[in-house]
Structure 1
Amino acid sequence: MNNLLSICDIKDDILEILDLAKRFKNGEMEEKPLKDKSLAMIFEKSSTRTRVSFDIGMYQLGGQSLFLSQSDLQMGRGEPIADTAKVLSRYVDGIMIRAVNHSDVEQLAKEADVPVISGLTNIEHPCQALADLQTIEEHLGDFKNLKLCYVGDGNNVCNSLLLASACVGMDMSVACPEGYEPNSEIIKIASELSKKTNCTITISPDIEKCVKDADAVYTDVWVSMGDEAEQEKRMNDLLKYQVNVDLMKLAKENAIFMHCLPAIRGQEVSSEIIDGPQSVIFDEAENRLHAQKAVLYYFLK
């Protein structure tokens, strides 16, 4: 069964999916290719972009989506994930899940008889990375001549971007303080992938070194959902990793600024940057829809 739990699941097909996303955005695909298909959408965490893009995406593709919060499912009352997977597989053509723990999504995929798509876990956010690549290609062109710099907490978004960058041959640096590095296994896999695509992966606390000559500078919130108890410590540790005017001056003159949203202006990014001419955050948000449609077509068609 084909699933999208990690960028690694599509490492050989990522360019094909990006091409599909571009064609959907340009209106070049057949109408209603998922007519009569259905998608169960399980949300253990709140969402704006993931929920709306999958919901509207299925509608535009001619299919039907069903929103299921934790309180809507017996999983919230202790029903085993395996039972939920087996039951839903009898009703729907695919399952999208936005979960707290990556291991739960892996178990769901193992037990399901239909494709499972991750809408975010504590380890990865593959659909966001696809939309990010689509946005970078639209604004900057060929990946192999580019450098992406991620600044701040090496979280799930950063993990997927590392893998995605390595797959398409784009250099990527991560500027983060000690203790905030991306997942060590992800770094290892991305480094191995980068050898095949002839690009470089750099993880360093040296923010100036990482941002220098970057074509795109990316950041995310310092306190993600589930990290609220560490808020004060995180704010102090990440203070000098704010993306602001001075930091962007280290990147290339035509560099773009990226953020997966939601953002907190004045924390991980200054208002001058996120609301300025270099920002492409709303193009990213829009591309969630097109990238999601490509994923749905690829796995459900």
Structure 2
Amino acid sequence: MLSLSGGQARSFSTGTAALGSAKLKGRSFLTLKDFGSDEIKKLLWVSADLKHRIKQNNEHLPLLQGKSIAMIFEKRSTRTRMSTETGFALLGGHPCFLTSQDIHLGVNESSTDTANVQSQHTGGPCERRFSPIINGLSDMYHPIQILADFLTLQEHYGSLHGLTVSWIGDGNNVLHSFMMTAAKLGVHLKIATPKGYEPEKSVIQEAQRLSEKYGTQLVLTTDPMEAAHDSNVLVTDTWVSMGQEEEKKKRLADFDGYQITMQTGSVAKPDWTFLHCLPRKTEEVDDQVFYSSRSLVFPEAENRKWTIMGLMVSLLTDYTPKMPMIKF
């Protein structure tokens, strides 16, 4: 076990005025590493506001009327595509779905020229590829997933500050995004990965810096039970990502003992919950946990839509939430 930093999460007071002054319009969204605490909180606040106004109040909000977005996907997708398409359309905009086969990205013309042309036709491209502008997913980061995860936890616990999230699984792009975000929200992070599957060293170094700045705990270990101990939230993801299919047999052997079960949760806090970004395999988490009342997986999946909507509204407009600021 390597405890990189520790201590009580320091309370950083953020008022409505401070979040309201966070400027997001026109920004690119590649990684949450580029966004400060107030900016991430504003994205979550806008997302919660849109969800409340549209889902609860049944309001019609054509905030993106007359705008369009190019959705360029090099990797297949279910939740990212559906949440972006339906969300953008619900706000009055027009989503354009394109695969690399549709536009032969980087073949007939350079990726830079394609991006410049697309920007003339749309409000901005949302790309699920390797050099994105709005990052729907890349090999290094998956930032839109983390917005959905933290909105889900804020809704469930009423506040994020002081929570402990335990990641048990692969040191992948989703984990990297957790590491770039948790400390900024006052969240402690424990990470259990098998040897050889640790997160990138540069990401560890940045996460250590953030934990020291915000007074949160960052722990890296190879023991899933150690990571789960006294945790509020247990999180995992696929052990075999797209493009790693040939490694499946070895990976399943290397991750033996990492399946999240009720036994894993027995050492967590009494109010522990479970997250998984989907699609899920039973070797990662058993049915007893996945379909239990502790599982927030399906609210998490729904919040992919509301957070991508909050992100697009924030990057394309000067929208200010109407509901009171949510508690962080």
TM-score category, normalised to shorter length: over 0.9
RMSD of aligned alpha carbons = 1.4
Query: 2:120 & 2:34 partners in 1: Cα distance?
Result: 24
Structure 1 runs, 4 residues or longer, greater than 3 Å off: none
* Counterpart check, 1:300 vs 2:316: yes
Q: Deviations over 1:240-288 (max 9, x none)?
A: 11101211111112100100000012x1111111011110100000000
Tell me what 1:25 maps to: 51
Aligned length: 287
- Conserved 8 A contact 1:166-1:191: no
Which residue, out of 129, 136, 149, partners 2:153? 136
Aligned partner of residue 241 in structure 1, secondary structure: coil
d(CA) in 2 for partners of 1:196, 1:61 = 37
Which deviates the most, 219-228 or 141-150?
Answer: 141-150
| Equivalent residue number for residue 176 of structure 2 | 159
Higher mean Cα deviation, 143-152 or 6-15?
6-15
Structure 1 position 59 matched with structure 2 position 85? no
Match of 2:288 among 272, 293, 299: 272
Which of 70, 82, 93 is matched with 2:100 structurally? 70
The structure with the largest helix share of the pair is 1
- CA distance in structure 2 between the aligned counterparts of 1:197 and 1:216, rounded to whole angstroms: 20
Deviation at 1:205, TM superposition (A): 0.5
Which whole-Å CA distance do the structure 2 matches of 1:49 and 1:288 have between them?
7
- Secondary structure of the 2:61 match is coil
What is the deviation of 1:10? 2.1
Aligned residue among 264, 285, 302 for 1:247: 264
Aligned partners of 2:231, 2:99: CA distance in 1, in Å?
40
Does the Cα contact within 8 Å between 1:257 and 1:279 map onto a contact in 2?
yes
Is residue 286 of structure 1 aligned with residue 302 of structure 2? yes
Residue 8 (structure 1) aligns with: 33
| Unmatched runs of 5 consecutive residues or more in structure 2 | 1-25, 318-328
1:159 aligns to what SS in structure 2?
Answer: helix
Where does residue 109 of structure 1 map in the other structure? none
2:72 to 42, 58, 61: 42
Task: Determine the C-alpha separation between the residues in 2 that align with 1:20 and 1:253.
Answer: 31
Rounded Cα–Cα distance in structure 2 between residues aligned with 1:197 and 1:140: 20
Q: Would you say the 8 A contact 1:24–1:290 is kept in 2?
A: yes
Gapped regions of structure 1 (runs ≥ 5): 106-115
SS of the equivalent of 2:105 reads helix
CA distance in 1, matches of 2:109, 2:263: 52
In the alignment, residue 213 of structure 2 is paired with which amino acid?
Answer: K
**Secondary structure of 1:144 counterpart:** coil
Tell me whether 1:223 sits opposite 2:240 in the alignment: yes
Percent of paired sites with the same residue: 36
Q: Compare relative contact order (CA 8 Å, sep 6+) and give the higher one, 1 or 2.
A: 2
